[in-house]
Structure 1
Amino acid sequence: MKIDPVKLTKKLVSFKSITPRDGGAIEYIATILKKSGFDCEILEFGDGGTKIKNLYAKYINGVPNLCFAGHVDVVHPGQLKGWTLDPFSPEVRDGMLYGRGAADMKSGIAAFIAAMVNLVAEKFQFSGSISALITSAEESMEEYGTKAVLKWMESKHKKIDYCVVAEPTSSEKLGDTIKIGRRGSATFKLICHGKQGHVAYPDLADNPIYKMVSILSKVKDTTFDNGNKYFQPSNCEITTVDVGNDTDNLIPGLITASFNIRYNNIQTPDNLYKLIDEICSSVTNDYKLSMHSSRGTFLSTPDRNIDIMLDAINKVTSIDATLSTSGGTSDAAFIKDVCLVIEFGMVNKTAHQVNECVLVDDVHKLTAIYKEFIKNYFYPSNKILNQINVVGNASEGPLLA
């Protein structure tokens, strides 16, 4: 059995898998992989009435194990009036495939499934095993997605030696960017307390707004670090400030704010919390600070496997990919705790946007790149074996592409 990755992308897009639901996509993928000889485990995690479906599928039990990972869940399409089609009724127009999840990241999943299944159909012989880790909880409820699957794998002594996450990493053209790392994300919530009162009698009140303004100003002016060869400096952005006050003659009793720090591998969440707490206490003692850190930073320094991906991309697209650590977070931040991991996939320009789309030709090219990577992962060409790590693709400054 061989798979057309474009037809598979369209089928996956048709599943209304708004996070954290899979809409039937997980069962469908498992059926395809089982027909090709993959051992499939559909894993459900969650609490209460919410159960998240995940899939771990493996072909052969040899070592090393090469894993491809991704997510079938998508963000809500938003107001439908902005779409020129039903977001879950995929269409191909002028060489573009439209639909929610086309870029992020159902085409990526279709490409690596097609690459694996088609190699099996072609009787590709190799010493090792290939696997797929697919979740429906990457965009939300991450604790029941990839993170939970990895814990299950550890309990079952199932090992991954290398992983490619099919996130849409390309910027302008397919193949221009590989993510070899990501910054971590730490979200802070700060409450400053005061004393409510009449604006005409400020001496009888304590306005917490001034405390918050002072703290946020200090936080924004703080240089956390200067970055390094692989990462840009850690950065803070204030996202909300609220007093919940619709009365113009009332001094509020409290104020809340949220801000997010995208941090590099120089920092840790604990160090950031300590620093922010010190800033708060320098202004007032009447505050409450909390922090949520979901996905941490990771870095896969250039090695032979990155050389193999660079070579595969160049062979299919004639593009010399740039190594990057920019952008948001992904489940690679969990996978890096068990093995080296990189991200490579489609062009990300329309991810999460109205009329999300990908080039049909790019879906075929991505499949070809993944196939080439798989073959050379298990049987490196002389060109790869003779290469010294292609660190030349890593610039002297931070990898911001």
Structure 2
Amino acid sequence: MTPEKKLTILQDLIQIPSVNDHEADVADYIADLFAPYPQAKVERLTYAPGRDNLIVTIGNAAGPRLGLSGHMDVVAPGDTTAWHHDPFGGEIVDGRMYGRGTSDMKSGLAALVVTMLDLLDQGVDLPGSVRLLATVGEETGEYGAAQLTDAGYADHLAGLVIAEPSGLDNVVYTARGVIDYKVVSTGKASHSASPEKGINAIDNLMTFYNAVRPLMAQHTKVDPVLGGLLHNVDLISGGEQINSIPAHAELMANMRTIPAYPNHVLYAELEGLIAQLNQEPGVQLTLSYSYPEEAIPGDPNAPLVQLAKQVSDQVCGHDTQIVGSGGANDGAEFLRAKGDFTSIEIGPGSATSHQVDEYVDLDDYLQAIQIYQQLIPAFFAQFTK
């Protein structure tokens, strides 16, 4: 495939405004690219109207299977007047392509697609199969990856490469998990001149707030790569007007977890605290979670990790670092699949993900394709030694 065609594919993807929705339009475009190849098996798994996960499998089904993954959604561009480039234009200026998703992560997704198309064009006889897992909803909860995992599409992988924008000088082998939770306090309204006739929902919510902070602070283990457990209350609201005892209040908190503290341990502590406080007269607290993800453990010496480093070193001429990530990714869901496999992140991108004038250096994008083109045969070679 010519470099111009590779850039066109990325540009076309950027011009599809798949902001937390409309991933089916991206899936349609990618499926059309594989339509001329009868040896490519193209499948869809619908999450909701207009939101299709895409699965493309090529190669020899009798051998080991390597998973390649990227998400098709992007975050909103925000105030478009603050952009110097059309967020969905895919403009190329001075060796960079600008637009929402150029870094996170349509450049990585495009690089995976181009790599698979090149394998088909070249008629490479793979000793195993390669499966693209293109997901919906990564930015808002990894629910596309969860759906694909539950449907068995990640079962018995021999390895998984996620093209998130790690930078090509980094191989990510471990990542924090996340727990977003909400606590709602229900009280009883009354006139503020007669507080004894009501139940102050804010007071009861603050009792939880003051108790949960020291509870979470007891988790003092520190992961040598990821650091410690993080817990932050980021949103609080409550009350109706200044002269009324509030009947409703709520808070939302974000936790960034590490492998030493599995989510079920933290759930038990939060739920135990809620149950304890609800025994007090007038206290009515409820707890709910939003798209929690487990931390991703990993081994820096795993063969896939070391192989990705070697290939990136060769292609890019730098000393690729083996690192952890503070953010969650689709790998947390895929690792629930049947089988035991290593998941890594390595992909093109810049420090502008989710920012105004997001961009990717086109040299990085093209180098990422070279890395994947060399990584795939090298990965299968491990099984024939």
TM-score, length basis structure 1:
0.84
CA distance in 2, matches of 1:115, 1:202: 67
AA matched with 2:286: L
AA matched with 2:331: A
Residue 160 of structure 1 corresponds to which residue in structure 2?
A: 157
Residue 367 of structure 2 corresponds to which residue in structure 1?
A: 365
SS state of the match for residue 73, structure 1?
A: coil
The yes-or-no answer on 1:219 pairing with 2:216 is: no
SS state of the match for residue 115, structure 1?
A: helix
SS state of the match for residue 35, structure 1?
A: coil
Question: How far 1:211 sits from its partner (Å)?
Answer: 3.0
CA deviation map 1:139-180 (0-9, x unaligned): 24743x2222233345xx97422110111122xxxx232221
Question: How far 1:28 sits from its partner (Å)?
Answer: 1.8
Unpaired runs of 5+ in structure 2? none
Q: 1:244 to 1:38 in 2, by over 3 A?
A: farther
Alignment check: 8 A CA contact 1:108 1:167 kept: yes
Q: 1:266 to 1:24 in 2, by over 3 A?
A: same
Residue 131 of structure 1 corresponds to which residue in structure 2?
A: 131
Counterpart of 2:178 (choices 185, 188, 212) is 185
AA matched with 1:234: L
Alignment check: 8 A CA contact 2:102 2:349 kept: no
Residue 292 of structure 2 corresponds to which residue in structure 1?
A: 294
Superposition pairs for residues 81-100 of structure 1, below 5 Å?
81-100=81-100
Superposition pairs for residues 16-35 of structure 1, below 5 Å?
16-22=17-23, 24-35=25-36
The yes-or-no answer on 1:107 pairing with 2:107 is: yes
Residue 242 of structure 1 corresponds to which residue in structure 2?
A: 237
AA matched with 1:311: Q
Residue 12 of structure 2 corresponds to which residue in structure 1?
A: 11
How many percent of aligned residue pairs carry the same amino acid?
A: 25
Q: 1:94 to 1:214 in 2, by over 3 A?
A: same
SS state of the match for residue 217, structure 1?
A: helix
AA matched with 2:33: I
CA distance in 1, matches of 2:299, 2:120: 31
TM-score, length basis structure 2:
0.88
The yes-or-no answer on 1:277 pairing with 2:248 is: no
SS state of the match for residue 24, structure 1?
A: helix
SS state of the match for residue 149, structure 2?
A: helix
Question: How far 1:63 sits from its partner (Å)?
Answer: 1.2
Residue 380 of structure 2 corresponds to which residue in structure 1?
A: 378
CA deviation map 1:70-117 (0-9, x unaligned): 112212222221122321111111111001111111110111222232
Counterpart of 1:253 (choices 233, 247, 250) is 247
Residue 351 of structure 1 corresponds to which residue in structure 2?
A: 353
Alignment check: 8 A CA contact 2:175 2:328 kept: yes
Unpaired runs of 5+ in structure 1? 386-401
Kindly tell me the number of residue pairs found equivalent between the two proteins: 372
Question: How far 1:380 sits from its partner (Å)?
Answer: 5.0
CA distance in 2, matches of 1:235, 1:14: 37
Q: 1:193 to 1:77 in 2, by over 3 A?
A: same
CA distance in 2, matches of 1:284, 1:53: 42
Question: How far 1:202 sits from its partner (Å)?
Answer: 4.0
SS state of the match for residue 237, structure 1?
A: strand
Q: 1:252 to 1:281 in 2, by over 3 A?
A: same
CA distance in 2, matches of 1:37, 1:299: 38
Alignment check: 8 A CA contact 2:127 2:380 kept: yes
Question: How far 1:53 sits from its partner (Å)?
Answer: 1.1
Q: 1:120 to 1:129 in 2, by over 3 A?
A: same
Residue 45 of structure 1 corresponds to which residue in structure 2?
A: 46
Question: How far 1:132 sits from its partner (Å)?
Answer: 0.9
RMSD: 2.5
Alignment check: 8 A CA contact 1:6 1:107 kept: no
CA distance in 1, matches of 2:62, 2:6: 26
